[in-house]
């Protein structure tokens, strides 16, 4: 999980994922739009691989990458915990409307 979020924390890698979402491509193709060397891009791909977000198949001298979306899905699911926060806020708001007692838990 940490590795997934870490992988997402870099614009270059997010770009790669976006690219891969519309079809598999090679390391070179992933590197091409970037302003860095191929070696650097290759390292980014490795980070994505380590996070389980990308799978690589070696086809001749080309390394073809494809998106592995499951970790993205579970990261997204994890992220949704904050909805609980919203629901709770709404509940509190409702309480305020329903009963006009002074709000509890105001410890200033």
Partner DNA sequence: TTTATATTCAACCGCATGGTTGATCAATCG
Partner DNA sequence: CGATTGATCAACCATGCGGTTGAATATAAA
Q: List binders of DNA among 1-60 (CB under 7 A).
A: 6, 9-10, 12, 26-29, 31, 35-40, 42-47, 56, 60
Report the partner that residue 44 touches, choosing among DNA, a copy of itself, none (CB closer than 5 to 8 A by kind). Answer: DNA
Q: Residue by residue, what is the 3-state secondary structure of the chain?
A: CHHHHHHHCCHHHHHHHHHHHCCCEEHHHHHCCCCCCHHHHHHHHHHHHHCCCEEEEEECCEEEEEECCHHHHHHHHHHCCHHHHHHHHHHHHHHHHHCCCCCCCCCC
Q: List binders of a copy of itself among 38-67 (CB under 8 A).
A: 59, 67
Residues of this chain that interact with a copy of itself (CB under 8 A) are 1-2, 5-6, 8-11, 14, 17-18, 20-23, 59, 67, 69, 72-73, 75-76, 78-82, 84-86, 88, 105, 108
- Site residues (CB under 7 A) for DNA? 6, 9-10, 12, 26-29, 31, 35-40, 42-47, 56, 60-64
């Amino acid at each position: 999980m940490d590795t997934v979020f870490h992988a997402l924390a870099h614009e270059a890698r997010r770009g790669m994922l976006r690219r891969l979402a519309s079809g598999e491509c090679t390391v070179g193709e992933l590197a091409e739009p970037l302003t860095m060397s191929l070696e650097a891009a290759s390292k980014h791909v490795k980070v994505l691989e380590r996070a389980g977000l990308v799978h690589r198949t070696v086809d001749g001298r080309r390394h073809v990458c494809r998106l592995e979306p499951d970790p993205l899905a579970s990261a997204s699911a994890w992220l949704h915990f904050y909805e609980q926060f919203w629901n709770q806020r709404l509940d509190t708001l409702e309480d305020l409307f329903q009963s006009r007692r002074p709000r509890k838990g105001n410890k200033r």
